[in-house]
A and B are shown apart, each in its own frame.
Chain A
């Protein structure tokens, strides 16, 4: 069909002669040994196919059932067990770690409490000492203050006592300078009246 007619005509003779040969060579089995039927529906091949399928598939089934399936199942089971075991171990380790953390935190809390207590005690002691010292100092100061006040009062009283005499003297001097002699009794009476 795709060969030119001239070429086909010249080859016609040899082609026909070689036809059978070619078919056997390429294994195309038209005609001889095969019915012209559509091969999958050719019942002549059924017994052979069923027999060989039974043999091959039967052996395949037995082989898989007895050798392959137990082996792969074993591999998967071992892996599964191993993973479960590892997970168990991991869980156990995690628990241990949790316990260690809890213990550590407990210790930390204790230590903190203890430190607070010590700090509190030290603070209290220091405060008490400071209070005592302050009280002592205040008392001493109060005493000194009282002494000073009494001394001032005494000095003031003395001074006040002296004020009359000084005024009399001063007044007498002033009067003598201004008007001459004045009696001591007059002066004292005058000073006394001014002093009130």
Chain B
């Protein structure tokens, strides 16, 4: 019995619903240990997937446009469509002055989109399912807005918090609300993306776990596993939509916040 044990326990590990751990996919494993000044800067699976996302996206964008075709090939069209999609988004939200931020918005959109999409592959790590990553990206946007806003407009940037046409008596209240809403932007921006990715992946994992658990029972369980299987397939489609949508939402909100930095007076 001893030699058969690992295989059996391996099966039980998956078959037992208590062992199908939907949180497991979010664990961070160290690949290369790296400690600097008492802080842990190890190269982890999260870092690995950041590298994969960046290399894949960069390579795709460069290789597809390398022929510089006047009439684009299919893959070149994809790159051009992504470019024009973000360019139109930014131009609509922030005007032509906003185009100086185009590289930033384009890289944020492509990074989030590809990270979301790669996360959909089984056994792949989803970079954007960690709040610290989405929060860092959101802070990058907000700090860009604040720093650029003060650099360009000086103290006039504070007019952002003072909407015109508000009666004097209400002004303190309105200003307080504006400040709170501004401060909550990085939180809402990061939590929206993080929560969507996290919830989607947990749901997928739970339904996929049902398929395995029920299937392992044999007989009726096997038949019963069909329903969660369909669910898992449908959810994968939904997650594909969410992956794109959340990247789009993140980029659109980035554009709108950048518009505030460019034109602070309401």
A67 to B66, CA, bound (A): 11
Apart from A2-B17, A2-B217, A26-B13, list 7 A-B contacts with CB within 8 A: A2-B15, A49-B44, A56-B47, A57-B107, A60-B57, A75-B80, A82-B70
A65 to B58, CA, bound (A): 11
Are the C-beta atoms of A47 and B62 separated by less than 8 Å?
A: no
Contacts from A to B (Cβ < 8 Å)? 1-3, 10-11, 14-15, 17-19, 21-22, 25-29, 33-34, 38-42, 44-54, 56-57, 59-61, 63-65, 67-69, 71-76, 78-79, 82
Are the C-beta atoms of B9 and A69 separated by less than 8 Å?
A: no
Contacts of A11 in B (CB 8 A): 1, 5, 8-9, 12
Q: Which residue of B lies closest to A71 (CB)?
A: B65
Contacts of B136 in A (CB 8 A): 49-50, 53-54
Identify the 4 closest CB pairs spanning chains A and B, nearest first: A52-B47, A65-B103, A14-B5, A56-B50
Are the C-beta atoms of A68 and B61 separated by less than 8 Å?
A: yes
Are the C-beta atoms of A76 and B80 separated by less than 8 Å?
A: yes
Selected from B5, B27, B43, the residue in CB contact (under 8 A) with A39 is B27
Contacts of B221 in A (CB 8 A): 2
Contacts of B51 in A (CB 8 A): 52, 56
Q: A26, A40, A71 — which one has the most chain B CB atoms within 10 A of its CB?
A: A40
Q: Which residue of A lies closest to B86 (CB)?
A: A69
Are the C-beta atoms of A17 and B5 separated by less than 8 Å?
A: yes
Residues 50-109 (chain B) with a chain A CB within 8 angstroms: 50-51, 53-54, 57-58, 61-62, 65, 68-70, 72, 76, 79-80, 83-84, 102-104, 106-107
Selected from A14, A26, A28, A61, the residue in CB contact (under 8 A) with B2 is A14
Q: Which residue of B lies closest to A33 (CB)?
A: B30
A69 to B68, CA, bound (A): 13
Are the C-beta atoms of A48 and B42 separated by less than 8 Å?
A: yes
A56-B1 contact given A33-B30, A67-B62, CB 8 Å threshold:
no
Are the C-beta atoms of A18 and B5 separated by less than 8 Å?
A: yes
Contacts of A82 in B (CB 8 A): 70
Are the C-beta atoms of A61 and B103 separated by less than 8 Å?
A: yes
B121 shortest CB reach to chain A, Å:
16
Contacts of B111 in A (CB 8 A): 57, 60
A46-B132 contact given A56-B53, A57-B111, CB 8 Å threshold:
yes
Are the C-beta atoms of A72 and B83 separated by less than 8 Å?
A: yes
